[in-house]
Amino acid sequence: SQKIEQNSEALNIQEGKTATLTCNYTNYSPAYLQWYRQDPGRGPVFLLLIRENEKEKRKERLKVTFDTTLKQSLFHITASQPADSATYLCARCLDSNYQLIWGAGTKLIIKP
Amino acid sequence: KAGVTQTPRYLIKTRGQQVTLSCSPISGHRSVSWYQQTPGQGLQFLFEYFSETQRNKGNFPGRFSGRQFSNSRSEMNVSTLELGDSALYLCASSLTNGQYEKLFFGSGTQLSVL
């Protein structure tokens, strides 16, 4: 089966530093990966999408990379702020019907 | 433009009861997907509706069902509730749920089964 794995341990980062979150997938390379942010008691909010043929995607302080050799996507937040504290989810697309398979998420804590 | 609206926000039920959750998608969105989220678990896909038709279904028992109305609003129903059904149920909408489309989520319905 096609799985997606994220570090289940919370990531603690000092304010101002770069936070890097990892998303690993098994089996076939997905057509694309999506990253979402989820705050407690809320639904996920879309952040970035990166396609299989893209190495890197940026949006303001956010950067996503896609390494099909390592079967991994990295999500970076530069100049991190306490307001960036949240759970970050990655999702891969099934090739056939565009349904998403989700990782369990990584909780990011930015300390002032 | 109003976002995805889910009602109710919280529900407490007892084992054996049944429950109906409601989702109003963003105006113009025709695809509605439902997910179950439990602590430490990724979002588990329940089913997806497009233009009143169920297009995809996840690996959940038949106690979980849903439907979509002509105005794209959707409901999901869980019958004969079990303790393990306690979870956050999320609804997401998109224009067509096609390739490269992002999902817009509601705040969810927190269901507790006692």
Give the residue among A19, A13, A25, A47 at the shortest CA–CA distance from A93. A25
Cα B41 to Cα B37: distance, rounded to the nearest angstrom: 6
In this structure, what are the phi and psi dihedrals at residue B85, rounded to the nearest 5 degrees?
A: -85, -5
Token pair 């329940």: residue: B46
- For an interface test with B, the pick among A9, A46, A51, A88 (most B C-beta atoms closer than 10 Å) comes out as A46
Contact A40, A107 (CB under 8 A): no
Interval B83-98: pLDDT, tens: 999 999 999 999 887 7
One-letter amino acid for residue A57 of the chain:
K
DSSP symbols for B32-60: EEEEEE-TTSPPEEEEEEETTEEEEE-S-
pLDDT score of A99: 77
Token pair 């639904």: residue: A43
A46 in contact with B, Cβ within 8 Å = yes
pLDDT score of A78: 98
How near does any CA of chain A get to the CA of B97, in Å? 7
Cα A95 to Cα B99: distance, rounded to the nearest angstrom: 9
Is A89 close to B42, i.e. CB distance below 8 A? yes
Within 68-107 of A, beta carbons closer than 8 Å to B belong to: 89, 91, 93, 97-105
Q: Which residues pair with B111 in a beta bridge?
A: B11, B87
Q: Which residues pair with B47 in a beta bridge?
A: B34, B57
Extended beta strands in A1-112, E state: 4-6, 11-14, 19-25, 32-38, 45-51, 56-59, 62-67, 72-77, 86-93, 100-102, 106-111
Which residues are CB-neighbours of B61 under 8 A, at least 6 positions away?
Answer: none
Contact A91, A103 (CB under 8 A): yes
| pLDDT grade for B67, boundaries at 50, 70 and 90 | very high
Interval B39-54: pLDDT, tens: 878 899 999 999 999 9
Residue A7 CA, chain-centre distance (Å), reads: 10
Interval B3-42: pLDDT, tens: 999 999 999 999 999 999 999 999 999 999 999 999 878 8
Interval A30-87: pLDDT, tens: 778 999 999 998 999 999 999 888 989 999 999 999 988 898 999 999 999 999 999 9
Cα A42 to Cα B109: distance, rounded to the nearest angstrom: 10
Q: Which residues of A touch B98 (CB under 8 A)?
A: 98
A/B interface, count of CB pairs below 8 Å: 57
Torsion of CA B49, B52, B55, B57, to 10 degrees: 60
Chain B: which residues have CB within 8 Å of chain A? 4, 35, 40-45, 48, 55-56, 90-92, 97-108, 110
DSSP helix/strand/coil, A30 = coil
Give the residue among B67, B82, B79 at the shortest CA–CA distance from B19. B79
Using the predicted structure, report yes or no on whether residue A98 has a pLDDT greater than 70.
no
Q: Which residues of A touch B97 (CB under 8 A)?
A: 98
Is A43 close to B48, i.e. CB distance below 8 A? no
Which tokens in the block code for residue A74? 């990295």
